[in-house]
């Protein structure tokens, strides 16, 4: 009999679920809408139903469930503290206890980006050739609408109190920069978050300063996004390329600061904004190369995510199986 674990990645609009073995063999998976307007109890019932459905599909019950939530959760107590992108009822919700009772198995909760970091550690770039996490530190940047992060040290996820560490998106990059939603100014997210990059693209488009991007999106601002901008830049749209390089330069400064702090072995860049691709990686690597002068950064790998948007789901399997945590 296989040891099967369940993983749930709870998002504002979608819930992804999977059953897998601890060595990473996926046995069943499915994505359903969150329907968050119905409130926490209904969403938790949907999650339990999703796991039950997957278990019925393969006729094996999971030993444990690992779940990532888009906000703050207490790993010790399984209580969801606060989910900024879901309705306000998600405060002090004992999601772990509710699901453990419904599914009759242990349930562990984690912030979704920290869970994705765990996925990268155990099943992604952090996995050595022998299958075990390689020593040293791993840093994960989740580049999306917001910029989140995670840290793993010597094969174990680093959490800090409440699992709230590694908030790279709110590092100050420009001391007197614009106000951020977090209350500070000049945060990385303001310069390198998805909306920031898209906003620059829309600005160029509306100002009539784009060439290839205009053609690609047929002049429609709602079609602009970082991936389309990267495509336009590769086709020769120099102004679009310049704003991408600038955003990635700010990201590179943050990565350099994190490297100076933790001297990691590996930095993984994931999330939808990482779809910018080589221009993002090259710019970040170049910035790190000249900004990190206190020790050699030559052997610090800066790589795209191997797991893509499945990093969270994989991390949930490791979380449920108690690997790397």
> What span, in angstroms and rounded, lies between the C-alpha atoms of 9 and 313?
6
**Residue 160 touching a second copy (CB under 8 A):** yes
The three-class DSSP label of residue 239 is helix
**Residue 173 touching a second copy (CB under 8 A):** yes
In the list 56, 58, 182, 242, the residue contacting a second copy (rule: CB under 8 A) is 182
Q: Is the dihedral of CA 57, 99, 16, 39 positive or negative?
A: positive
In the list 20, 48, 72, 268, the residue contacting a second copy (rule: CB under 8 A) is 72
Q: Is the dihedral of CA 81, 20, 274, 121 positive or negative?
A: positive
**Residue 79 touching a second copy (CB under 8 A):** no
Angle, alpha carbons 216-193-278 (nearest 5°) = 60
To the nearest whole angstrom, how small is the minimum distance from the Cβ of residue 191 to a second copy?
9
Number of residues near a second copy (by CB under 8 A):
44
**Residue 123 touching a second copy (CB under 8 A):** no
Closer residue to a second copy (CB): 50 or 151: 151
In the list 31, 178, 295, 301, the residue contacting a second copy (rule: CB under 8 A) is 295
To the nearest whole angstrom, how small is the minimum distance from the Cβ of residue 79 to a second copy?
15
Closer residue to a second copy (CB): 142 or 256: 256
To the nearest whole angstrom, how small is the minimum distance from the Cβ of residue 195 to a second copy?
18
**Residue 291 touching a second copy (CB under 8 A):** yes
Closest alpha carbon to 104 in 137, 55, 176, 68? 55
- Tokens linked to 42: 């209904």
Using an 8 Å Cβ cutoff, are 9 and 312 in contact? Answer: yes
> What span, in angstroms and rounded, lies between the C-alpha atoms of 219 and 215?
6
Mark 230-249 with x for binding to a second copy (rule: CB under 8 A) and - for no binding: -------------------x
Buried b (16+ CB within 10 A) or exposed e, 186-210: bbbbbbbbbbbbbebbbebbeeeeb
Residue with tokens 């002068």: 293
**Residue 136 touching a second copy (CB under 8 A):** yes
Neighbours of 250 (CB within 10 A): 24
> What span, in angstroms and rounded, lies between the C-alpha atoms of 192 and 127?
28
To the nearest whole angstrom, how small is the minimum distance from the Cβ of residue 222 to a second copy?
30
**Residue 153 touching a second copy (CB under 8 A):** yes
Beta partners for residue 19, in sequence order: 6, 28
**Residue 61 touching a second copy (CB under 8 A):** no
Mark 185-224 with x for binding to a second copy (rule: CB under 8 A) and - for no binding: x---------------------------------------
Mark 261-280 with x for binding to a second copy (rule: CB under 8 A) and - for no binding: xxxxx---------------
**Residue 150 touching a second copy (CB under 8 A):** no
Binding segment toward a second copy, per CB under 8 A, in 62-70, 123-131, 177-185, 270-278: 177-185
DSSP per position, 88-126: TT-SSB-HHHHHHHHHTS-EEEEEHHHHHHHHHHHHSTT
User: Contact positions toward a second copy, by CB under 8 A?
Assistant: 72, 136-137, 149, 151, 153, 158, 160-162, 164-168, 170-175, 180, 182-185, 249-250, 253, 256-258, 260-265, 290-295
């Amino acid at each position: 009999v296989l040891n099967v674990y369940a993983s749930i990645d709870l998002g504002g609009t979608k819930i992804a679920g999977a059953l897998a073995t601890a060595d990473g063999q996926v046995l069943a998976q499915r994505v359903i809408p969150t329907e968050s307007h119905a409130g926490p109890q209904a969403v938790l019932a949907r999650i339990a139903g999703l796991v039950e459905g997957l278990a019925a599909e393969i006729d094996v019950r999971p030993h444990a469930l690992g779940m990532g939530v888009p906000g703050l959760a207490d790993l010790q107590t399984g209580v969801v503290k606060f989910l900024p992108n879901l309705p306000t009822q998600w405060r002090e919700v004992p999601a772990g206890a509710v699901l453990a009772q419904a599914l009759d198995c242990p349930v562990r909760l984690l912030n979704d980006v920290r869970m994705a970091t765990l996925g990268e550690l155990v099943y992604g770039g952090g996995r050595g050739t022998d299958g075990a996490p390689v020593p040293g530190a791993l840093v994960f940047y989740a580049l999306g609408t917001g910029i989140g992060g995670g840290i793993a040290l010597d094969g174990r996820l680093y959490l800090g109190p409440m699992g709230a560490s590694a908030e790279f998106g709110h590092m100050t990059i420009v001391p007197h920069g614009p106000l951020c939603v977090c209350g500070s100014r000049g945060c990385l997210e303001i310069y390198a978050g998805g909306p920031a990059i898209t906003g620059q693209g829309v600005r160029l488009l509306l100002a009539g300063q784009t060439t290839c991007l205009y053609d690609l999106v047929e002049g429609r601002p709602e079609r602009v996004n970082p991936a389309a901008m990267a495509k336009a830049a590769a086709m020769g749209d120099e102004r679009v390329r310049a704003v991408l390089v600038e955003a990635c330069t700010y990201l590179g400064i943050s990565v350099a600061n994190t490297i100076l702090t933790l001297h990691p072995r590996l930095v993984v860049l994931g999330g939808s904004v990482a779809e910018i691709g080589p221009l993002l990686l090259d710019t970040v690597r170049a910035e790190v190369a000249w900004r990190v002068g206190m020790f050699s950064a030559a052997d610090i790998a800066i790589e795209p995510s191997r797991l893509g948007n499945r990093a969270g789901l994989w991390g949930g399997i490791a979380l449920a199986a108690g690997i790397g945590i």
